Structure 1
């Protein structure tokens, strides 16, 4: 028995994860990712606009529309937005419901991020927009959510799941904290279906985005990692299988721009 436990501990310790094109120890990946997002926090929104030509705003708007109208009778609605430190998705959800009773009384959003630098940006923006009463900001790990089971009506994560070291564990945590009938929804870069568009997309990402990072943020390294992480991320079908394997039902995905990004979803039954 002791020998088996020793082997298990050695195996766990020796596991590796992708950090862009590099291999790092699994338990060290989160620290590397944290440093990247600490570096990019202050220029995050500006660089998103430059890198996507403003398209990230359209993708995020469509993502929030895919979530649908949040209604639960007279009960409160709780949304968990993971890896959403700067508040982009949370603010869009609140804007969609602004002016109705849900916004004024019942809709509460928890923005969770492992990086405090990103959360500080989001908190400042929430105060400026007057959303501080509808949003709470929590610094925690997506793989170990500090919430009771069956707490949230919806779980969103936009451009964050590929940076999680143990993706199945994080999605399993999403399933745990959602209420019965709750919706999981993920927006992430994916695999372009058309070969010509795929080639052009990769050429753009690897040749221009790191250069932009160097010029605008004086940080080529962080943006080189970001494009490498996109290249190493799961295909649409592989991510869908993970979502289904942890227990989500009626799961599927929808491509934007032929798969430049994709929205995955599933329901806890």
Structure 2
């Protein structure tokens, strides 16, 4: 049976054991990635890493993939050709409606596999709101946060956060026909100089600065895509796929304990005094 939930009939979906079924929602962005990568980069990587991870699981793992939410909160790239962004409020409303719909179908576990670096904080917030509203257990994650394979050394570790060596290598592995390496340029290395002598401020860290692309890059690239390779991408994709597959099984088998609510505890204490 397919792992693509939208390919099932309503009767097929109704037959799923929802007690531990995991629903995976890839979510990305449609935004500029320089002249060498497609604007669908973030949505493409989220979708294909999710697909590869779920396909690698044993049959009957009860993990299901939804159609990708391709648009995201990409306001930092607005004004660059091809960027199509949702506002934070719009994206949060979409995610909340998704959670409510899944809960109505009696599902209990939702995973956001996020491919866009501009929205993890938003997904952290909306995950808890979905939990409160619907009771779903929600797990927002980014495959890039699983780290790199042993021995991989980045050429642009201080500023390679957008269309640089790592991201370009991943897309080269997943969709080589969409990569135009003859247009790849290194850009954004000004970031290293900007923060070199600062104690607390960082691009994204302890005291982040709310940057937009135009603050840091002429080309739209933040990194060194000229150091990318398809072989490096293959290694990173294999690593992220393996880590995600392991995480999905952990999520399937995880549940919060059934602790008494504060109200129930107070009621029990009151009864004991009667």
Name the TM-score class by shorter chain.
0.3 to 0.5
Structure 1 or 2, whichever has the larger Rg, is: 2
* TM score, norm. by length of structure 2: 0.33
* TM score, norm. by length of structure 1: 0.34
